[in-house]
Structure 1
Amino acid sequence: MRRFIRYLYEYEQEKKMRNVGFVKIEQDMEQCVIHVHGKGFRMEEDAKGLEVYLFWNQDEKCTGINMGVTEPPSPGLNYQLCYTPEDMGEKENYGLVNGIILKDISGHCYAAVWNDDAVNICQMEKWEMAEEETHEKEKSNAEASEEQEVKECGKRYKVRKIQRKDMVCLPRCEWKHANNSFLVHGYYNYHHLILTVCDGQLKLGVPGVYHPQEAKAAESFGFPEFLPFEETGLALTEEETNDRETFGYWCRDVRGSEDCADIQRKI
């Protein structure tokens, strides 16, 4: 287990402007926990929170992957982020992480850097899944995605709509997925998640749309199964759905679901 502390600074370009707090990091090969403690953030009056990114720097380029949004500092911030290699889009990114960035809606940037590298925090580029190397590989992957078997449980499943904060009812080993960037993206687009039971297996679902590229992204973040909205029987508001595309839920099995009898009875 590697443990260390780094100071959190407000940045303008590559320059540290002022200290606003510190972060504590506890990391091993399987997961990393980051505790953020700060105050004095320059927040707008109605700001909802700070966007959180983990970043790495290669070839003088700063690349970040979104890990969610904090609660609004009031006035201080105490935030914990727990992530694993599976939460990083590609597992190789886990070992590249060199710090954490917090950004507000006005563009103010705050960051803690693990080493002494000069990093242009304010020019961070968001990580995107790399394109396939050849046209043939792209074609075969697209065909495979289109032919992906959609999990249809028919009358054997039940569905319950939940909020992200309700994930505390799941086994502790599942809590880290509250910071999964794919889950966070779906939650903030559609304002809910689902729990569903199919053949005795509890599943967590993230709202989204189905198409081949999205299927690859969902699988890379640990949500390989797609459940069409029409199969859920849920009643949603306009903000919670997408009428223009094939809307549904990207699902993953909840580990330890055999110990979740109480949760399953409430669905």
Structure 2
Amino acid sequence: MSEFHRIVTYLYLYEGNHKTRNVGYAKIEKRDAQCRVEIHMKNTGLINHDIPVYFYTQTNAGFPGVLLGSVNFVRGTGEFKDLFDSTSLSGTGYSISCIKGIFLPISEREMILSQWDDDSFDRTSFFPAQTSNQENVSVPEEAITPEKNVSPDLEAAEVAPDLSFETPEPESHSLRRDFIMENFPPVFPFSREDSFQWVQLELKNLHLLPKSYWHLGNNSFLLHGFFNYHHLILGRKKDAQSCQWFLGVPGVFQNPERVMATLFGFPEFHSTSESNIKTGQFGYWIRPLKES
């Protein structure tokens, strides 16, 4: 006799950590090794938004998210239906028995959430779970260089990756970033003819940026990229009139990843290869850093 379980759960719209209203429901049916997911939403206020849909679980590392797909909202209404392997959802190794709820990130402040137990969901600790396909993606050797010895002053500045502490503001943000470019290992993630100069960073180095960017240490998309590939990149482009700065997060181009990157402030993707087809290519999601 086959094993059958069904869950029906409500979905709520959140602004920040505040639950505002019910916007729909989800029905999850497990029969043996198959899991059918149906999500129905209306009156969300979303128009022509293509939003990723995640199951989430909880581990010591935080809240890994299992990407199920995406849902397109038309006049505030959206529906999602699909069938999955209940023993390894979306190839992540997580089974349906591990799942604690459903998460749809709308923006950095808004989300749609369904929680299946009394444990609270911490969005700042959310990160997309790695799939077996991602594990097989190799990072070009020229994109990462070994750490080199840096000055004692810089080593002293590299404290724990807690970005909440107070440090004296530098007299000039441009001087601080010039110091980073001169003391961190250079990398060449793109063409050698690239007009940018790039260096490799770690998460703990973000506090060397202007204080207005310290919040990126809690950016779920940035954390996902860093913990998968163990580095970030910082770049600058100089011309006669100005100097532009950019921060890059490593990743692989997929449409759901593109949606997440845009939601979390990294709208542009630069591939490390010269292929005209971006899908499946390794590269970096880029955001500009303005002087502040």
Report the TM-score when normalising by structure 1. 0.45
- Answer with 1 or 2: which has the greater Rg: 2
Under a length normalisation based on structure 2, what TM-score does the superposition of the two structures give? 0.41
